[in-house]
Amino acid sequence: MKASNNNFSIRMIKVLSVIIVIFSVFLLSKDQKWLKSDLPEENFTSIVMSKTIVVKCDTGITCENNIQIESENISSASGLAFTSKDSKTFILTANHFCKPEEHGMTGYMSEYDVIDTKIYISDVSGGLWKGKIRYTDARYDLCLLSSDMPNVVDVRVAERMPEIGEKVYAISAPAGFEMKEVGLHFEGIFSGCGYSGNCFYTIPSTFGSSGSVILNIDGDIIGMIQMSPRAFDFTSIGVGVTSVRSFLDDASNSTMSFLN
């Protein structure tokens, strides 16, 4: 009888130990928030701007009247194809890519006569399409492009910003790095928004990352990478969800009702 009681006690201790472990894991994880679905790689876009310019040159085979025409890819950005309507797909990116002159970023191109500007959009499957600027707003540093790329699954805009300390995510092409079947995934922590409206995210970024849309744990849009602190590219700065919503509302009213 005594041996039987001992065995019963041992079994009860084991059961209680399992219950305690399960309950402890629950307590530790109930406040943790994780990405609820995969990032929308098929919606990620890499964007390039190409300008055709007139360049003075020495007399030669390629020169005519001491000039020649050259095409140069002058800048790159990231973007997100977030909705499609009427055979058009719409992409969010940064306005300082679309219209750098509105942000004092004319650069060396101001020295040349530009006779044509084209925007090319590519996705992770390797497709390439021309893009068209549909609406811009320098206040928010946001730009809306359209293209003939195939329809995409809609990516929603969040109702509110995440809590400070929550994880956030992005797919981008830093330094213009893009390759077929490759989408660089990044994650960081939402660190709050300043009085100026700029929000801070501990997501690494550099040139080429601009325009990368930031997503919350539900995969909804909450902001965009638009800049990073000098000499510290482990933090991204950009607008938050209020600015994104205001921009899209203005774009819808001014150009087309693609959100309706």
Does the pLDDT value for residue 28 go beyond 50?
no
Based on the structure, what is the number of domains in the chain? Answer: 1
In a domain, 29, yes or no: no
Q: What is the per-residue pLDDT for 21?
A: 41
Which tens digit of pLDDT belongs to each residue from 161-191? 999 999 999 999 888 777 788 888 999 999 9
Report the CATH number at residue 184.
2.40.10.120
Q: Exposure of 210 by Cβ count < 10 A (0-12 exposed, 13-18 middle, 19+ buried)? A: buried
The answer to whether residue 114 sits within a structural domain is yes
The rounded distance, in Å, linking the Cα atoms of 136 and 213 is: 16
Residue 54 lies in a domain: yes
Do 59 and 81 form a contact (C-beta atoms < 8 A)? no
Q: Is residue 170 part of a domain?
A: yes
The domain in which residue 102 lies consists of 41-254
Q: Is the model's pLDDT at 104 over the cut of 60?
A: yes
- The answer to whether 121 touches 147, Cβ cutoff 8 Å, is yes
223 - beta bridge partners? 214
DSSP code string of 28-61:
HHTT-----S---GGGEEEEEEEEEEEEE--SST
Sign (positive or negative) of CA dihedral 253, 256, 259, 260: positive
∠ CA 225-194-46, nearest 5°, is: 5
Structure tokens, 92: 């969010």
Q: Regarding predicted confidence, which is higher, 28 or 12?
A: 12
- The reply to whether 110 falls in a domain is yes
In a domain, 228, yes or no: yes
Q: Average the pLDDT over each of 38-42, 62-66, 132-136, 241-245 and give the range with the smallest value.
A: 62-66
- Is the pLDDT at 127 greater than 50? The verdict is yes
Q: What is the pLDDT of residue 29?
A: 41
The answer as to whether 215 is a domain residue is yes
Dihedral of the alpha carbons of 76, 82, 84, 85, in degrees to the nearest 10? -110
* Residue 122 belongs to some domain of the structure: yes
Residue 48 identity: V
Q: What is the pLDDT of residue 80?
A: 96
pLDDT digits (tens, 9 = 90+) for 38-97: 778 899 999 998 877 666 665 555 555 555 555 566 788 999 999 999 889 999 999 999
